Chain A
Amino acid sequence: MPDITPALEIVDLCVGYAGETGMVPAVNRVSFSIAPGEFMGLAGESGCGKSTIAQSILRLLRAPGIITGGDIHIAGHDMLTSDDAKVRELRWRTASIVLQNSLTSLNPVKAIKWQLQEVLDRGGGSKTPTELLEMVDIDAKRLNAFPHELSGGQRQRVVIAMALALSPQLVILDEPTTALDVIVQQEIFVTVKALQKQMGFAVLLITHDLPLLFDVADRIAVMKDGKIVETATVDAFRRHQDHPYSRTLLSATPRVDFATPDVIRPKDVAHPVLETAHLVKAYGTNPLTGRSMLVAINDVSFRLAPREIVALVGASGSGKSTFGRMVTGLTGPTSGDIVVDGHTPVPVSRRRKSTPRAAQMVFQDVYGSLNPLHTIGHHLRRAVISAPQREKVDVEARVAALLTEVGLTPPASYLDRRPHELSGGQRQRVGLARALAASPKLLVADEPVSMLDVSIRREILNLIARLRDEQGVAVLYITHDVVSAGYIADRIAVMHRGQIVEEGPTKAVLMHPQHEYTRRLIAAVPGGLGLPDGHTHNHLTEATP
Chain B
Amino acid sequence: MLYIAKRLAFYLLAAFVAITVNFFLPRLTPGDPASTIVATYSTTLNEASLNALKAAYGLTDEPLFTQYVTYLGNILHGDFGRSLSNFPAPVTAIISAGFGWSILLGLTSVLISFVLGSALGALAAWRRGGLFDKLAPPVLLFLGSFPYFFLALLLFYLFCFKLQWFPMGNAYSSVNPPPFTLNGIGDVLFHLIAPAFTIVLVSLGPWTLNMRNAMIGVLSEDYLTLAEAKGLKPRRVLFAHAVRTALLPNVTALGAAIGGVFSGQLLTEIVFTYPGLGYSLMRAVSSVDYPLMQALFLIITLSVLVANFVVDTVYVLLDPRVRTGQEA
Contacts and interface: CB of A to CB of B under 8 A. Distances in A.
The answer to whether A and B come from one shared complex is: yes
Interface of A: 55, 58, 60, 88-93, 96-97, 99-101, 104-111, 118-119, 122, 146, 148-149, 159, 162, 284
B223 A105 contact: yes
A162 B227 CA distance: 11
Nearest to A98: B226
A99 B225 contact: yes
B321 A60 contact: no
Contact of A107 (B231, B245, B318, B328): B245
Contacts of A93: 231
B225 to A, nearest CB: 6
A55 B227 CA distance: 13
Contact of B222 (A92, A96, A105, A146): A105
A149 B328 CA distance: 16
A91 B223 contact: no
Contacts of B240: 110, 118
Contact of A146 (B231, B245, B248, B321): B321
B223 A107 contact: yes
Given A99-B222, A104-B223, A109 B319 contact: yes
Contact of A91 (B231, B248, B318, B319): B231
Contacts of A159: 226
A319 B90 CA distance: 64
B246 to A, nearest CB: 11
A148 B231 contact: no
Contacts of A88: 231-233
Contacts of B230: 91-92, 96, 118-119, 122, 162
Contacts of B245: 107-109
A58 B225 CA distance: 10
Interface in B293-325: 318-321, 324
B226 A105 contact: yes
Contacts of B231: 88-93, 122
Nearest to B219: A62
20 contacts: A55-B225, A60-B225, A88-B232, A88-B233, A91-B230, A92-B231, A93-B231, A96-B229, A96-B230, A99-B225, A105-B223, A107-B227, A107-B241, A109-B318, A122-B230, A122-B232, A146-B320, A148-B320, A159-B226, A284-B328
B321 A99 contact: no
Interface string B192-235: 00000000000000000000000000000111011111111100
Given A60-B225, A110-B240, 15 more contacts: A60-B228, A91-B231, A92-B231, A97-B226, A105-B226, A107-B241, A107-B244, A109-B245, A109-B318, A109-B321, A118-B232, A122-B230, A122-B232, A162-B230, A284-B328
A110 B245 CA distance: 10
B226 A99 contact: yes
Interface residues of B, number: 24
A118 B328 CA distance: 33
A149 B324 contact: yes
Interface string B51-74: 000000000000000000000000
The 9 closest A-B pairs by CB, nearest first: A91-B231, A146-B320, A104-B222, A92-B231, A105-B222, A99-B222, A107-B223, A92-B230, A88-B231
A159 B240 CA distance: 18
Contacts of A90: 231
Contacts of A100: 222
Nearest to A88: B231
B161 to A, nearest CB: 48
Contacts of B229: 58, 60, 91-92, 96-97
Contacts of B319: 108-109
Nearest to B244: A109
Interface string B128-167: 0000000000000000000000000000000000000000
Nearest to A55: B225
A331 to B, nearest CB: 17
B314 to A, nearest CB: 13
B103 to A, nearest CB: 30
A109 B229 CA distance: 19
A108 B321 contact: yes
A88 B228 CA distance: 8
Contacts of B227: 107
Nearest to B226: A105
Contacts of A104: 221-223
A106 B223 CA distance: 5
A282 B245 CA distance: 34
B125 to A, nearest CB: 13
B145 to A, nearest CB: 29
Contacts of A110: 240, 244
A106 B319 CA distance: 14
B49 to A, nearest CB: 56
Nearest to A149: B324
Nearest to B318: A109
Contacts of B225: 55, 60, 99
A523 to B, nearest CB: 30
Contacts of B248: 109
Given A88-B233, A97-B229, A148 B321 contact: yes
Nearest to A148: B321
B115 to A, nearest CB: 19
Nearest to B228: A60
Contacts of B320: 108-109, 111, 146, 148
Nearest to B233: A88
Contacts of B318: 109
Contacts of A119: 230
B155 to A, nearest CB: 39
Contacts of A109: 244-245, 248, 318-321
Count chain A CB atoms within 10 A of each CB in B228, B229, B245 and give the residue with the most: B229
A338 B225 CA distance: 47
A129 to B, nearest CB: 14
A96 B318 CA distance: 29
A100 B231 CA distance: 19
Nearest to A162: B230
A366 B231 CA distance: 37
A146 B319 CA distance: 10
Nearest to B128: A63
Contacts of A106: 223, 226
A96 B225 CA distance: 12
B215 to A, nearest CB: 14
